[in-house]
Amino acid sequence: MPDTGSPNTESIRDWLLEQALLAPPFDHLVPAMADRVREAGIPVDRIHLATNILHPQFDSLSITWWEGREVEAATYRPDTEESEDWLHSPFRPMIDEAERRLRSINDPKSRNKPTVTPQRLRIWRGEGPDRYPLLADLAAQGATDYLAYITAFGVDGIINPDDIYGVAASWTTLQPGGFTEAQADALTALRMPLAAAVRSSLDIAVSRAVLSAYLGADAGARVLAGNIRRGQLQTLRAAILFGDLRGFTAVADRLPGAEVVALLDRLFEAMAGPVLARGGQVMKFMGDAILATFALDGSQEVPVCAAALDAAVEAQAAVQAVNHRHQSEGKPVMPLDQALHLGTVMYGNVGTEERLDFTVIGPAVNEANRLEALCQPLDVPITISQSFTEAAASPSRFRSLGPQTLRGLGEPREVFTVA
C-alpha cells in the first residue's frame, strides 16, 4: 500500500514521557494512548500490552484494547501452566531470540540494551495465520496487519537473560492493505517512550502491592505517601484482634520446616481472610500469632465492633474447617485462641533508623495479648474485654466469664466470651 504521508507522533512521544512522570494506572494509559494514536492518523484498531510484574499473587498482566469495545485486563498467577496461546504466540520466538542474544554476551555489564527485534506480520498477505492461532483469529475479525515488539527493562543497568523483564506491545489494524510503512515506522518510534510510561506505572503499582502485602493496605499506602520517619505515630481508637494457634511450638519441633510452613499458611489464610473481608487490617504475623485492628477513624463504634466480632467468629469456623481437613490427612491440629479488645493505640513507625516497623503499640495491644492467654485456662476460643462489649452494644452476643486477673495488669477485670 503506498504511503500517504508520515504521521506526526512527536506530541504522542512527549505525552508518553509525561505519563512516565505521572505514573497513571496501566489500564488508563492504554485507551488514552489509543485515542492519541488514532488522532495522529494511524488506524490502530487493537492494542495489546503484556508485562511480567513483581507481585505476591501474580506473575504477569495484560491489557487489550479494541476500538469500540471495553478494555480487557487479565492477570496470571506464577503457578499457572503456560497456555497454548502463549506457547504459540508471536511474542514467544521474540523472547527466545532475545535470551539467546543476551546469553551470547560474555560481559554481563554489556547486557544493557533492549535487543529484541520487532516483528511485523502482514496478515493480508497471509503472513502469520498459519503459524499463530492468534493471528488466524485476528484475520477472521478483519485484521490486515500486526506489528509487535518487546522492550526489555534492566535492573541496576543490566538486562537479565534468564528472566527478561519488560513490556510486550502489539498493534493491529483493519485498514485494507495494512499499515503504511510510515505508519509502522511511527508506531515503532513510540517503543521507548511507551516502555518508559509502562514501567513507571508498573513500579508504582508494584510498590503499592508489595507494601500492602507486607504492611497492610492502609499502612502500605501511608508509607508510600511518605510516612516513613521513626517516631512518626498517630494515636487512634481501634478494635484489636489478637489470635494465636495453640500447640504450634510442639508441632514445629517434630515436623520438617517445609511442612510446618505449609500448615501455617493454610491456617493464617483462615485467620486473616475474615479480618480483611470485614475491613480490618492485619498488622503483623508473629510466629503462629496474628495481630489485627479495626480502626474507628471517625466511624461509629457499634458497626466496627460488630465487624471485628464477626471476623473472629468466622475465623474460628475457618480454622476448624482447616483443622478437620488436617485431621483427616493425619496432620496436626492447632486450635485457634482469640481475644477482642477496644482501646487507644499508637499507629506508625517504630524501630531503629536502619530497620523500621509500621505497626500498632500501646497498653491496649498488651491487654489484648494478655486476654488471649486466658483462652486455654478458661476453656473458651474467644475472650473479650468489657470495653469491647460495651462499645458493641449487643449484650445478647456475649457471656460473662467473671472477673479475671490479666498478667501484669493488676486489678481483676471482667472478661467475656461469645454467647
Question: Cα(65)–Cα(272) distance, rounded to whole angstroms?
Answer: 36
Q: Closest by alpha carbon to 98, among 14, 181, 161, 35?
A: 161
Is pLDDT larger for residue 239 or for residue 57?
Answer: 239
- Copy the grid coordinates of residue 391: 462499645
In this structure, are 153 and 261 located in the same domain? no
56 pLDDT above the threshold of 80: no
In this structure, are 186 and 301 located in the same domain? no
In a domain, 381, yes or no: yes
- Copy the grid coordinates of residue 155: 535492573
Beta-ladder partners of 361: 346
In this structure, are 114 and 171 located in the same domain? yes
Q: What is the mean pLDDT of residues 348-372?
A: 87
Condensed to tens digits (0 to 9), the pLDDT of residues 200-239 reads: 988 888 788 777 777 777 777 777 777 778 877 888 889 9
Question: Cα(60)–Cα(162) distance, rounded to whole angstroms?
Answer: 16
Condensed to tens digits (0 to 9), the pLDDT of residues 108-161 reads: 777 777 667 889 999 999 999 999 999 999 999 999 999 999 888 887 887 777
Q: Residue 207 corresponds to which amino acid?
A: S
In terms of DSSP bridges, do strands 145-153 and 119-121 run parallel, antiparallel, or are they unpaired?
A: antiparallel
In terms of DSSP bridges, do strands 382-385 and 413-418 run parallel, antiparallel, or are they unpaired?
A: antiparallel
| pLDDT score for 1 | 43
Condensed to tens digits (0 to 9), the pLDDT of residues 3-32 reads: 455 788 899 999 999 999 999 988 899 999
CB-based contact 186:42 (threshold 8 Å): yes
Question: Cα(317)–Cα(221) distance, rounded to whole angstroms?
Answer: 31
80 pLDDT above the threshold of 70: no
All residues at 6 or more sequence positions from 323 whose CB lies less than 8 Å from its CB, including other chains: 333, 334, 335
- Copy the grid coordinates of residue 230: 521513626
Question: Cα(356)–Cα(341) distance, rounded to whole angstroms?
Answer: 26
In a domain, 324, yes or no: yes
In a domain, 4, yes or no: no
CB-based contact 349:229 (threshold 8 Å): yes
Place of cell 457499634: 302
Q: Which of 169, 187, 211 is the last residue of a domain?
A: 211
In a domain, 217, yes or no: no
- Copy the grid coordinates of residue 93: 520466538
The CB-based long-range contact list for 37-40 (8 Å cut-off, 24+ gap) reads 37/9, 37/12, 37/187, 37/190, 38/67, 40/7, 40/8, 40/9, 40/11, 40/12, 40/186
In the chain, the percentage of residues whose pLDDT exceeds 90 is: 53
DSSP H helical ranges for 58-145: 84-87, 91-103, 133-140
In this structure, are 159 and 244 located in the same domain? no
| pLDDT score for 79 | 62
| pLDDT score for 2 | 43
Question: Cα(167)–Cα(196) distance, rounded to whole angstroms?
Answer: 10
φ/ψ of 111, rounded to 5, equals -85, 65
Count the domains in the chain.
Answer: 2
Q: Which of 211, 245, 260 is the last residue of a domain?
A: 211
Give the C-alpha distances (Å, rounded to integers) separating 72 from 31, 44, 371. 11, 16, 49
CB-based contact 76:86 (threshold 8 Å): no
Place of cell 495491644: 365
Read off the CATH number of the domain in which 258 is found: 3.30.70.1230
In this structure, are 269 and 151 located in the same domain? no
Question: Cα(202)–Cα(294) distance, rounded to whole angstroms?
Answer: 30
Q: In terms of C-beta density within 10 A (0-12 exposed, 13-18 middle, 19 or more buried), how is residue 59 classed?
A: middle
| pLDDT score for 230 | 81
Q: What is the mean pLDDT of residues 84-107?
A: 79
Read off the CATH number of the domain in which 118 is found: 3.30.450.40
| pLDDT score for 84 | 64
In a domain, 238, yes or no: yes
64 pLDDT above the threshold of 50: yes
CB-based contact 333:327 (threshold 8 Å): yes
Compute the mean pLDDT over every residue in the chain, rounded to the nearest whole number: 88
In a domain, 220, yes or no: no
Burial 222-237 (b: 16+ CB within 10 A, else e): bbbeebeeeeebeebb
In this structure, are 197 and 255 located in the same domain? no
In this structure, are 95 and 141 located in the same domain? yes
Give the C-alpha distances (Å, rounded to integers) separating 28 from 152, 186, 201. 22, 22, 10
| pLDDT score for 10 | 92
In this structure, are 231 and 201 located in the same domain? no
Question: Cα(7)–Cα(37) distance, rounded to whole angstroms?
Answer: 9
Q: Which of 211, 246, 262 is the last residue of a domain?
A: 211
In this structure, are 390 and 341 located in the same domain? yes
All residues at 6 or more sequence positions from 33 whose CB lies less than 8 Å from its CB, including other chains: 12, 15, 16, 47, 194
Containing domain of residue 267, as a range? Answer: 227-418
- Copy the grid coordinates of residue 359: 505497626
In this structure, are 135 and 245 located in the same domain? no
| pLDDT score for 81 | 54
In a domain, 5, yes or no: no
In this structure, are 72 and 97 located in the same domain? yes
Q: What is the mean pLDDT of residues 276-301?
A: 88
In this structure, are 185 and 49 located in the same domain? yes
In a domain, 302, yes or no: yes
